[in-house]
Amino acid sequence: MIFKVYYQEVLLEAPVREKTKTVYVEAESEREVRAKLLPFNYNIELVQALTGAHLEFEKQSENFKVLELV
């Protein structure tokens, strides 16, 4: 399953919408996504599962690239 993750790069700063970034991660669950991103020390705001039409729409974006994380 593909997840879209909204995050801030600096863990200790208060979230600001203009600084929010996104990344796509393939994993079995939200817990696995968070475990994979733990070494980056991101301030994760939202982990959203992408399925069906929503996933197809995201794939059309020029920014769509699934991170290769182990």
Task: Give the pLDDT of residue 14.
Answer: 85
The answer on pLDDT for 70 being more than 80 is no
pLDDT digits (tens, 9 = 90+) for 29-67: 999 999 999 999 999 999 999 999 999 999 999 989 998
CATH number of 2-67: 3.10.20.730
Q: Do 2 and 55 contact (CB within 8 A), yes or no?
A: yes
| Global confidence as pTM | 0.89
At residue 69, the pLDDT reads: 83
- Looking at residue 54, the DSSP 8-state letter turns out to be H
Return the closest-CA partner of residue 65 out of 2, 18, 17, 19.
2
* Domain boundary assignment for the chain: 2-67
